[in-house]
Amino acid sequence: MVHKSPAFEGFPEESAWVERLADHPEEEDNLTRLLETEKHLVAAYILLALEAMKAPGLRLVLGNFENRREKVTLLCGSFSTAMDLGGLARSIRKKLDARPSS
């Protein structure tokens, strides 16, 4: 399970972790290096953290994930969506493409 809902009073811990990381854009390079992990849930949370911090380099790393087939289940409140890690990367790319240019 990958928690995608906002944290409330520190729970779920994974969401709180993503939110704390998003407040530290200076860690983008370190997080990007950690994406080399074979642990797909860790990679999913790092992608979410990079998305939340609006990391400039996120678009560059998404291509490395679009063909990964490890299954993840995104949990947002009481709703869940099953997809693979590549599907998560593609959905993040779509959101990035929909953002207005600055």
pLDDT tens digits for 61-82? Answer: 999 998 999 999 999 989 999 9
Please give the residue range of the domain that contains residue 36: 2-98
pLDDT over 90 percentage in the chain: 87
Give the 3-state DSSP-derived string for 17-41, with helices as H, strands as E and coil as C: HHHHHHCCHHHHHHHHHHCCCCCHH
The number of folded domains in the chain is 1
Tell me how far apart the terminal alpha carbons of the chain are, to the nearest angstrom: 34
Question: Residue 39: what pLDDT?
Answer: 96
